[in-house]
Structures are given as structure tokens and as C-alpha cells.
Amino acid sequence: MSAPILESPTPLPVERIQKLVGYGMRSHADGYLYRPTSVSEIRKIIDLARNTGRKIVLRGAGRSYGDANIGSECVVIDITRMNRILSWDAETGIIDCEGGVTIEGLWRSTIEDGYWPPVVSGTMYPTLSGALGMNIHGKNSFKVGTIGDQVRELEVLFPTGELKVLTPEDELFYAVISGAGLLGIITRVKLKMKRVHSGNLKVLAVSCDNWDDQFEIFNKFEHDSDYMVSWIDCFGRGSQAGRGQIHVAWYLNEASDLPVSLLPSNQDLPDSIMGLFPKSSVWQILKYFNNRPGMRFINYVKHNASKLLGNGKEIEQGLVGFSFLLDYVPNWRNAYLPGGFIQYQSFIPREHAKEVFSKQIAMQQEAKLESFLGVFKLHKPDKFLFSHAVDGYSLALDFKVTAKNWSRLESLCHRMNEVVLSAGGRFYFAKDSTLRPKDVHTYLGEETLKKFREYKKLCDPEGMLTTDLAKRLELV
């Protein structure tokens, strides 16, 4: 007789394995998912990974588009359950919270006291840990910089077990923020919120016929606005290339009393379009238009509508409605299934921006792989180690991925990379899917990478923290 049949326990619990996807749904990897609620739980998970010979991937809300939040066969520490606000001072505007607090958590708990997060992404769901790992920016990037610039204090747990408080006085502060989750786990964040006097913004919409118009309007409002963002119709060609619509916005400072617009319930996005059509079904309709002719049509209609309706008009819009365009249509990304999509965002110094973006649009059109959505913004440089920002502009592009088009799309991105790099441009890990180690080497420079390796040795000597992005770009 053979030995009695007993299920021998596996080193890691089998039920932990999950398929985790990047936001663009093209990249995915199976990992052992843990969602700790305290620093001591994180410590135990680090020990477990060490004892089972596994690497660790840090994940927030999973809003990075590519492979920055996944890692095959790794232990994944998802910070989303560490979402407590530890203290809030409405006098000073200083909020102290755990790393899993989201942008939504920030604004919901402070807006009625007249505060708004100083930097927000196009969606309200990222966690602070994730947002700081990537050092996100918003539509006010040209004015206030990135989210890292707003932080007063960080608590970071390193894989060695050391828990450290970092402030802007520490050199390491500038590496952990922007460090793509490869140095330590941001467990607590203290930052200064922005005082607002109304829950609304004054918003001006301006239609643009081409790149010249775009740059002219940005120049005009650069020193006299709080937010600027432009939508680009990537199907516009020739003299129409770069056509789109700019939104410029200002905080309202006049109101002395706190108006009702500051109540969270008055900020919530409507659940239907024109009070009729439920938004939850919109992506199912959008799916049928999510192809070249369909998107050419939608972009064309949107551009002409922006010219005819409301061009040059000022309106008041809620902070939430203006800020979180990506949350406007729930599950919109499902329209890109089954292949998903990638985002491609490059940051170009002022003097070359027009030339580079014109080239990128022309290259996409030539490859018949136009981006279905283009977003154009202005930035200012920052001091963070893996900074993506430049004194210049960025263009973010959404490309649909299919089994058939992937190799052509990847090659288009690589060709666009060359143009970006020769203009001294930069890239952004949260949005990346196609960079190669040599591209990163070029834009970050040997000096920065050497510094990173030194920090890595110091903070994570066993090399436990990794991601599929870090492996692809040979950062670890």
C-alpha cells in the first residue's frame, strides 16, 4: 500500500492566486494577492514572500495602464484596504492618511470644509500610494507640479522591515515618490489640501482648428488660469492636424460663504445622460463605434460640435465633473475588449513640442493606427528621480490593441519613441507599455539610473520589490 493520501500544504495558499490586469487590459499576470490592513500585516506578507522565495509587487487601485502594477507569480500587496484617514485639520488643510486612501477619499472627506486635493488625475480612484509611486499629475501640472510636490511627510516601509518617515528634506523622499513602487511601501501620507471657496470652477471652452491654435491658447492662458487641458482629434490631418478643444478653468475665489456646491452629494456625477439614458450601458453602445471609422466619426462630430456650440463661452462646472472625465462613462474601457488598449504619453520640451506632436499624429495616420483619443497638457519640471515632467507639453494617446495590430502598433510606438528621444522628451511609467531598456536609458540618463541602483541597494538589498514593467525595462 502506498502512503495515506494527505493534501500537503503548498508554500503559498492556492486560493490567493488571481489574474491581475493593468488598466489598459492588455497586460496581465497571475499573482498571489494580499490586501493587508496594517503595517504589521504587510511585514508578515514580506516575510512570507521571503520564505517562499517570491518577489513582491506593490499595487494600488490598478490604474496604471500597462504592466507597472502586475508581476507574474509574485506576491502582490494591494494597499486598497489601508484606507483610513488618520487626521484632518480644516484650519491648516493638512490631511494625514494611510496609503490606500484614494483621490476620491480625499475630496469626499474634505470638500465640505472647503478643500480640494491639490493634484488629481483624470479618474478619482487611484490610491495615494499608487499616485505617489508614479508621481501623477493633473490638468494643473503647469502650475503646481505633480502630487509629490504637495506632500509634507511620508511613512515608508522598506522590505528590510525598517519603517521610515521621509520629508522633502530627505534625498530618498524624491526617489520613493516616482520610484514606481520599487523602493518601499508608502504606508502613510501627509499632504496639504488646496483651499477652495466653491465646489465649482469657471470653465472656458475654446475650439481649435490646428496645432497653432492649440499652442496659442495655451500660451495665452498659461499665467492666468488654474487648469488647462485640451482634447485632440487625432484624425485631423493637414491644416486640420491638432484640431480639438481646450478647456481652461479657474477656481472661484469670490464667494465668502461656503456654498452648497461644496456638499459631496452636489458633486456626484449624474447616473444618466440628459437624465434619460443610463450611463452604465453607454460602453455597450460605445463598443460598436470603437473602431477607426466609428472613432473618426465621433471625433469629427465632437470637433464640429465644439466649434458650433459653446465655443468661447464660460460656464460654471463642478470640481468633480471637470476633473474626473475618465469616470464620466463607467466601464468605458470595456469598449476596448477583447484586446484592451495602451496609452502612449510623451513629454516634450516647449521648443520641440509642436514639431514632435505633429509628427506623431502624421505617423499614426500613415500607419492607419490613429489614437481614438488625444489629450494635450502643459507641465513644469520637478525634482523627482524618475520624473516624467519637462518644461513643455505632453500628448497622451489611447491606442486600441487587437491580436492583429499589436506588432504594427508596437513598431509605431518604437518609431514615435525615437522622435521623442531626439527632441529630449520623456516618458511616464504609469502610461507605458512599449518602452525598451535603451529608451529609458536615454531619457533618464546613466546618472539617474546609477542613483536608483544605489537607492535600491540601500532600501531593498534583497531585490524583493519588482513589477513586470521593472523587468521589461531592466530596472531590477
Partner 1 sequence: MVGASSGIGAEIVRQLASQGCRVAAVARRGDRLKGLAAEFPQNVFPFEHDVTEYNSVPGLFQTITGQLGGLDLIVYASGTMPEVGITEFDFAKDRQMIEVNLLGAIAWLNQAAIRFQNTKAGSIVAIGSVAGDRGRAGQPVYNTSKAALTTYMEALRNRLCKVGVKVVTIKPGPTATEMTAHLHMRGMAKATDVAAFTLKKADRTGEYYFKFTHRIAFFIIRHFPSWLFRKLSI
Picking from 109, 63, 112, 52, the residue whose alpha carbon sits closest to that of residue 84 is 109
Q: Pick between residue 57 and residue 206 the one whose CB is nearest to partner 1.
A: 57
Q: 194 Cβ partners below 8 Å, 6+ apart? A: 93, 115, 116, 117, 118
Q: Pick between residue 72 and residue 331 the one whose CB is nearest to partner 1.
A: 72
Q: Pick between residue 14 and residue 276 the one whose CB is nearest to partner 1.
A: 14
In whole angstroms, the minimum distance from the beta carbon of 189 to partner 1 comes to 32
In whole angstroms, the minimum distance from the beta carbon of 1 to partner 1 comes to 10
Q: How far apart are CA 466 and CA 45, in angstroms?
A: 15
Q: Pick between residue 33 and residue 157 the one whose CB is nearest to partner 1.
A: 33
In whole angstroms, the minimum distance from the beta carbon of 333 to partner 1 comes to 17
Q: How far apart are CA 57 and CA 28, in angstroms?
A: 13
Q: Pick between residue 331 and residue 365 the one whose CB is nearest to partner 1.
A: 331
Cell of 81: 484596504
Picking from 364, 392, 259, 385, the residue whose alpha carbon sits closest to that of residue 319 is 259
On the question of a cis peptide bond just before residue 338, with omega within 30 degrees of 0, the verdict is yes
Q: Pick between residue 359 and residue 471 the one whose CB is nearest to partner 1.
A: 471
Cell of 243: 484640431
In whole angstroms, the minimum distance from the beta carbon of 96 to partner 1 comes to 36
| Binding interface with partner 1 (CB under 8 A) | 2-3, 5-12, 14-15, 17-19, 29-30, 53-54, 72-73
In whole angstroms, the minimum distance from the beta carbon of 73 to partner 1 comes to 5
Angle of helix 350-366 versus helix 406-422 axis, rounded to 10? 160
| Per-residue DSSP letter, 99 | T
In whole angstroms, the minimum distance from the beta carbon of 338 to partner 1 comes to 11
Q: How far apart are CA 362 and CA 159, in angstroms?
A: 46
Cell of 227: 487648469
Q: How far apart are CA 321 and CA 302, in angstroms?
A: 18
Pair type for strands 341-349 and 200-208 = unpaired
In whole angstroms, the minimum distance from the beta carbon of 2 to partner 1 comes to 7
Cell of 64: 496604471
Q: Pick between residue 293 and residue 338 the one whose CB is nearest to partner 1.
A: 338
